[in-house]
Amino acid sequence: MEHSIYLDEARDPLIIAEAWMKDGKDVAVATVVETWGSAPRPAGSHLVIDAEGNFHGSVSGGCVEGAVVAEAIDVIDSGQAKMLEFGVADETAWQVGLSCGGRIKVYVERLG
């Protein structure tokens, strides 16, 4: 069975965000805009979050993703977009999911 690198409609975070909005949910999207060094997800990766903290997709993993979800709820409440930056020293990198001291920049904005 051949595996596609492309997401289908059931897994694409942006299609899911649109469906959530049609259901009347307040939604934010987090997008990886830059990476340096070792980063688990490439630039352009998306995580969608609703006001209750439900999420779909991935921007990193570990504690970084939890922090992005928390910030996204603030963005939904305030309507103010945020640029988040996560960088981790090598000795603590494994604990938060940035395996080799990588850094990522994530833009979080409310949709709708």
Per-domain residue ranges of the chain: 13-110
Q: Is the dihedral of CA 43, 45, 47, 48 positive or negative?
A: positive
The whole-number pLDDT of residue 107 equals 98
- pLDDT on residue 38: 75
Query: What's the pLDDT at 62?
Result: 73
Predicted pLDDT of residue 3: 46
Q: Compute mean pLDDT per 10 residues along the chain, 112 residues long, and list them.
A: 55 93 97 87 95 94 87 98 81 54 89 90
Closest CA to 48 of 71, 31, 67: 31
Position 6 scores a pLDDT of: 58
**What is the pLDDT, as a whole number, of residue 88?**
63
